[in-house]
Amino acid sequence: MGYLSCKAESAISISNSHTPSSNFPSTTHKRPIKIKHFNYCDLEAATNNFSDQKLLGKGSHGYVYKALIHGRQVAVKKPSRTPSLRPDMPASEVDNEIEILSKINSPRLVNLLGFTTDSENRLLVVEFMSNGTLYDILHSTTRSPGWGRRIRLALHTAKAIDILHSSNPPVIHRDIKSANVLIDRNHNARLGDFGLALRCHVDDYRLRSTPPAGTMGYLDPGYVTPDNLSTKTDVFSFGILLLEIISGRKAIDVGHSPPSIVDWAIPLIKKGKLSAVYDPRIELPKDLVVKKQLVVIAGKCVRSCRERRPTMKEVVGWLSGLSKLVPLHSWNGLNNPCMMVENVGVPM
């Protein structure tokens, strides 16, 4: 992607695996997370035997179905392959999600509600998101969202990643992308799909045995071996996501030259051609601070040298400041006086 890797800070690795439990303590709540155990046959019946009419989506890891359980709409995730039962083989993506989400619960995440105890037919039950994905909003709808909403969705996503990185031990998502950001009924962004996520301990053996993974176009070019992994890997992916939000372009689009959004956008930002980076389907941000700082934040996140990338906590602070500069009528019909935001500098 046109970047050279540089030596990173000490890599973070993941904790030893263990059987998921409904009594795991939350890293964001004092009370234990209540995770339900379901019978496979009950979820099979709730999805009409996994009928196409109930299908919400499918990806490389499996299928997601809509279901009504005890009067509540939920999403049921079914893996596309049977998990390995060998102890020396990695757990399935579904088992990994259970391990991660059994310990973290937040309104910024697509939270775990339960799972089936049958390891040969493992299903995952998560919160139902009624308004699709950020990818859908940016690329598959006729009406493009305004800057107030875009900044809000970016801020929600940044907060979700910060929650993961701030947990103890930290969680590295490894697959930050617009298709994994879901929109709930209140039009808030939620981060989902934790199949590739790693819950981290510094000296854990699993880090060294877990190969790099992620989605082309969002991958940190410096993440080429397991010991290259750190929270800054997610920061890079978020930077790509933010460029996607700003420009309306896909992370990789063969219809453009160069097809990589970062190879296209960063030279323009360095030349000061900021307007050229913005989505041409809608008017530019009226506030000049917003116009400049949005692309600057994205540029900082995709720096080739990961030590120079910001933390997600810093990104949350910057985006929170920018959100105050955008009139609230673009969100809910109310006006809001402009406030100043810290200048985060040009990412050179």
Q: Is the pLDDT of residue 342 over 50?
A: no
Each residue of 225-266: pLDDT tens digit? 888 899 999 999 999 999 999 999 999 999 989 999 999 999
Q: Which pair of tokens denotes residue 98? A: 């259970």
Residues carrying an active site annotation? 175
Query: pLDDT tens-digit profile of 150-171?
Result: 999 999 999 999 999 999 889 9
Whole-number Å distance between alpha carbons of 286 and 336: 14
Residue 2: pLDDT over 50: no
Task: Say which amino acid occupies 308.
Answer: R
**pLDDT (average), residues 263-288:** 96
User: Does the structure show a pLDDT above 90 at 273?
Assistant: yes
Please check if 313 is assigned to a binding site.
Answer: no
Mean pLDDT of the chain: 83
The span from the CA of 224 to the CA of 221, in Å, is 7
User: What mean pLDDT is predicted for residues 282-300?
Assistant: 96
Domains of the chain and CATH, by start = 18-127 (3.30.200.20), 134-332 (1.10.510.10)
pLDDT of residue 7: 30
Report angle CA 108, 110, 114 to the nearest 5 degrees: 135
Which stretches of the chain are assigned E, i.e. beta strand? Answer: 13-14, 36-38, 55-59, 62-69, 72-79, 112-116, 124-127, 171-172, 181-183, 189-191, 198-201
Q: CA-to-CA distance for 206 and 196, rounded, in angstroms?
A: 13
Identify the three-state secondary structure at position 151.
helix
